[in-house]
Structure formats: C-alpha cells, structure tokens
Structure 1
Amino acid sequence: MLPIGRFIDPFTDFGFKRLFGSEPNKDLLIDFLNQIMGEEKQIVDLTYNQTEHFGHSDENRKVIFDLLCTGSNGEQFIIEMQRIRQEYFKDRSLYYTSSLITQQAPKGGPKWNYHLKPVYLIGLMDFSFDETHSEQYLHRVQLMKSDTFEIFYDKLGFVFIEIPKFLKKGNELHSELDNWLFLLKNMSRLDKIPVFLRKPVFSKLFNIAEVSNLTGKEKMAYDESLKIKWDNYNGMDYAVKQERAAALREGKEESQKQIALAMKKKGMEISLIQELTGLSKNEIEKL
C-alpha cells in the first residue's frame, strides 16, 4: 500500500499537471513563473500549447515537454519536472529550447529576418546536479560575455531549481519564491495548511491538491503516478547500491592482488598465496 498524505505529491506526473497544467489553474502557474522570472519579465497571461512537437520533417525526432506555454508577448516557457537524475539533463534542456527556436522559422513564404521570440526553460529537479555548492539551489543561466559577464543575448534563458538543496524552514522564508519552493518540497508531507501560506493563491492550490477532492478515476490515476514515481526511485536506489557493491568488490580484489604480489616477491609458494588471498593460480602468475 502506497503512503498517501492529505495533499497530492507535486513530483508525480499527475500531481504536477493537476496543479499547473490546466486552463482553470493557469493563475497558479503564472504566479509561480513570475516569482521565478523576477520583476523584469512579468507574465500577464499564458496560453497552453500542445506538449508534443516534431521537427521540420517527419524524420526529425519528436519532442515531448511536460508543459509548454506561450506568454502574451509571444515568449515561450518550457516547464520540466525531473524526478530522478539524468546523465544528459542539461543537454536535453538545450535540445528542447533549440527545437522551439528552430520551429520559429517560417516554412516557405517571404524572406525572414531571423527575429526570434524569447524561449525559457524552467527545470524543477527532485535531485541535485552534484554535491558542489551545497547551498545553491537556484541556477539562472544565460548567454553572457566571458570577459565582462554582461548579458550577450537575453531571449534564451534557463532556470534550474534543485529542490533537495532547498532546506529553509517556515520561519526562514523571506520571499514568495521561498514560499513556493517550500510548498512544492513539503506539500505531500503536510497534514494542514501552514499559517504563513494562507494566501489566496496558495488556498486555491491546497484545495486543488486535496486528495479527498479527487474523483474515483482521478484517484486511480494518482495512485498509478505515485507507483511509477516510487518504482523509479527504488530502481535508481538499487542501481546505486549495485554500483557501490561492485566498487567495493573491485577494491577488495585489487587489494588482494597487491598482497599477492608482495607475497610473490618474497618467494612464497603459489599454492599458499592462493590459499591466503583467494586468487586463482592464473591471476597470481600474471602479477
């Protein structure tokens, strides 16, 4: 039986799309994105776009986004929720934004002056890139000059948020973005709405997130989404443990070989070295 709390888990496909992926709830997504993008790039309205895209020809690889939206000024936002570490997540993010940029080119027709609309990718990560900069959970990435650090091109941007590194408690939240990140990280573990989150936008979100408000069909979909999430985590955990065990075995074997080599140099019999180290005769003779 899966552990199910009062509120849905935003880091499931069902939970993420229920909170942010439908027209009646787009005010939630707009508020969240505005906190991420900052005052210079405030979003007034959004239109949801289809999440499956193809290249200019049938042979081009298909791209499927978690969420894709267009702002009132034509800017496009890819919102990706990534549960487990992926080796080429940065590469995939660049590929996704590049695919939207190339699709802006008109097919045939008049000459085109290459004027592009902005493209941004928001990556909500339930893992960390690595263990460096342990306190830095928010990464804003743009093209800039390497010598002066001035922005070179402001119509392509990435924001990566490493949720596991966000460690602030309720009394340490100092911004609306802090509130959002605290909520996303802790929602599935809460049994009541914290006082500091009792604001209209969050009241609506908690109401949508109430597991008891799900229909029978929605509850089944959520259960399946949870199962997939935990299966993925368990599979990853098992793989990590296997890698660690293999590394330990490799280290032990290497250590035994070093001991055997030292014994061999001292002129000890091969049979005795075999008995003491567990290595085969062939392995010892190759040392």
Structure 2
Amino acid sequence: MLKTDTANDIVSNTEDELTRFIDPYTDFGFKHIFGKAPNRDFLIKFLNGVFRGRKVIVDIQYKNTEYKGPGRDYRKTIFDLYCTGDKGENFIIEMQKAKVKNFKDRSIFYTANLIQEQGVGVVADWDYLLPEIYFLAIMNFKFDNSHPDHFIHDVRLMEVETGEQFYPKLGYIFIEMPKFKKSEGQLENELDEWLYILNNLKKLDDIPLSLRGKQEYERVFEIAEVGNLTPEEMNEYQQSLKIQRDNASALSYAIEEAREEANKAEGWAEGKAEGKAEGKEEGKAEGKEEGKYENAVETARQMLTDNEPIEKISKYTKLSLEEIGSLI
C-alpha cells in the first residue's frame, strides 16, 4: 500500500517518523541493497534484467570503488558500485539522485579510466585486448530533450550507415527513473519489478501482493526494513539522509536566490525598455511637432510672398500673428 508523498517530503531524524523501508536513492540505501556481497544475487538479477538477454551474468565480484589512477597526481575517481562479472566484464553502477552538470561526460570519463588502466604495467608485447566495460546509471532525473516515453537508453558504438554494432565491449545504459510510471498491476517482467521497487520502496507500507512469494523480493524488503538495521547501519542511514536533506535545502535556497536575481534583472530590463520606449516616443512626438512647425513656417513664408492677408495665413498655418509677423 502506497503512502502519500509530496515534493518536499523529507524524512525526519527521529526514528518514529522514519518510513518503514529505507530510501534506495540515498547513498546508504542503494549500497545496502545492491552493494554487499551477501546480496549480490540482487545485483545479478537486476543487471540481467537491464541487459534483457544480451548478456547473462552468472556471478559478480565486488571491487574497490575508489580508483586512484596510475600516477600520484592523477584525479581520484569514486564509483558508487564497481564489480566484475564471471566472464571478466567490468560494471560501473551509479545511482544519481540529482541532475549534475556534464553527467554524460563524467560517464565517459569513468569508463576511460578503466580502459586506460589496462595499459599500465603490461608487458611490452601486449596486444591491446581489452575487457568488456559497461556503465549503468540509475538516474532520478531526466535528460534534456529526450523522448517522454523512452526511459532506457542503451548506448553503444555503432556504424552510422549500416546501424551495425562496431565494438561490442563498451556500453552505456542510462535509466531515467522519473519516466517509469507503471503501477503494480502493469509490471510485465523482472526489470519492471526492480524499477517499481526502486521508485516506490520508501513509500510502501508492505511488500506488494504481486511480489509476495518471490524469495529475492521478500529478502529485499526484509533487508530494507528500517527496523532491521543495526545501530551502526541506522547511524549511517541517518547521516545519508542528513546529507540528502542538506543538499536539497542548499539547492532550494540557490534556486530561490536565482529566481530573485532573475526577477530583479527582469524588472531592471523592463524599466530600461520602458524608459527607452517612452524616450523614443517622446522624441518621436517632439520631432513630429518640430516638423509640423517648420512646414507651417514654410507655408506662411510662401503665402506672404503671394501677398495673402496675415489673418488668412494664421488661419491655415495655425501660427500666431506674432509668429507670422516675425517672418516679415
């Protein structure tokens, strides 16, 4: 059963206000479910669902998530999860809670690190044979300008003209979770079930009926239950929630400040534009009046040359008798 949730929903620090199940979008929550060796069958099943038969993973081994690079001054990289498959494949799995700048570039950088690592400390006659490397991003945000119904992006090196895969050992899979809208009754396969759990775990009061009787899902809900966390795990989860709240608060403040600055700039621009427009209109009016006066004076001079009566000239030009007199 789903509980109501709002855009500003923040879990309190007090235990009695915590949701029954942990938030899998926190750093702790995601790793608690998928990042521990005893739970590696969860990650195996999830990965097999994502690859949809293109790859079948039998086993995985977790590796150090901190990559320091080959040199002392090399930029350190920290993955959310990093593991190898039973056939030597490398999998980088990232849970991305918020939209960040240059996320696609960062994804390429992460895989480039692992590719570059292969050439460090190898024998002179190394033949450049590389392992399979895959980057999987579970994103709690959407790409800009992507199709509203297309939420899984399977990106590979392809030959443009033929559409054939050029290099099969490097791939990127991006899952835009906000686009996954399926309800419990619409779940069609194992991947749907995992995505439904990720999207709704924090909001659930109990394991959904359609997932009961399936051992791996019942274990997921057991592991994810806040009441089953050890004191150390609870402290780690609370810290993870605090970081999430602080980041959300900082982001909200930054957005509000940006709006205020934008409103100020807009008001200044509007005032400037209005002033410019008013000045332009006034100038046009003045110019128009000046033009009329010059025409009237020219007409008066012509009429004076023709010996027309001053009263008649005043009537037709709208000039005063004094103005006409000054022209004689």
TM-score, normalised relative to structure 2: 0.78
What is the Cα deviation at residue 207 of structure 1? 0.7
Q: SS at 1:249's partner residue?
A: helix
Cα distance, 1:267 vs. partner?
3.4
1:69 corresponds, among 80, 83, 107, to 83
Q: Secondary structure at the match of 1:68?
A: strand
| Alpha-carbon distance in 1 for matches of 2:145, 2:252 | 17
Displacement, 1:135? 2.0
> 1 CA distance for matches of 2:139 and 2:256?
22
Query: Which of 211, 214, 217 is the equivalent residue of 2:232?
Result: 217
Candidates 106, 125, 132, aligned match of 1:118: 132
What are the within-5 Å matches in structure 2 for residues 123-202 of structure 1? Answer: 123-130=137-144, 132-198=146-212, 199-202=214-217
* Whole-Å separation in 2 of the counterparts to 1:70 and 1:107: 20
Among 97, 111, 121, the alignment partner of 2:111 is 97
* Corresponding residue number in structure 2 for 1:280: none
Per the alignment, in what secondary structure is the counterpart of residue 143 of structure 1? strand
Partner of 1:242: 257
Whichever residue aligns with residue 66 of structure 2, its letter is: E
Dislocated runs of 4+, deviation >6 Å: none
From 20, 33, 40, the equivalent of 1:19 is: 33
Q: Distance in 2 between matches of 1:4 and 1:212?
A: 10
1:226 to 2:241 alignment: yes
* Cα distance in 1, alignment partners of residues 103 and 185 from structure 2: 33
Higher radius of gyration, 1 or 2 = 2
Q: Distance in 1 between matches of 2:226 and 2:37?
A: 20
- Per-residue CA deviations over 1:171-195 (Å, capped at 9, x if unaligned) read 1211111111110010011001001
Note the C-alpha offset of 1:143.
0.8
Deviates more, 1:110-119 or 1:126-135: 126-135
Tell me which of 267, 274, 283 is aligned to 1:252: 267
User: Alpha carbon RMSD of aligned pairs, Å?
Assistant: 1.5
Residue 48 of structure 1 aligns to which amino acid in structure 2?
A: Y
- Is the 1:106–1:112 contact (alpha carbons within 8 Å) kept by the matching residues of 2? no
User: Taking every aligned residue pair, what percent have the same amino acid on both sides?
Assistant: 45
Q: 1:108: Cα distance to partner?
A: 4.3
How far the C-alpha of 1:149 sits from its partner, in A, is 1.6
Contact 2:70 2:120 in 1 (8 A): no
Instruction: Give the drift of 1:63.
Output: 1.1
> Match for 2:220 among 184, 205, 211?
205
- CA drift of 1:131 comes to 5.0
Q: Distance in 2 between matches of 1:148 and 1:243?
A: 46
Report the TM-score when normalising by structure 1.
0.89
1:114-153 Cα deviation digits (max 9, x unpaired): 1111000110111112253122211111111122221111
CA contact (8 A) 1:20 1:29 kept: yes
SS in 1 for 2:54: helix
CA offsets 1:191-240 (integer angstroms, 9 cap, x no match): 01001112111111111001000112211111111111122122222222
Contact 1:84 1:233 in 2 (8 A): no
Q: Which stretch shifts more, 233-242 or 257-266?
A: 233-242
Q: How many residues align?
A: 268
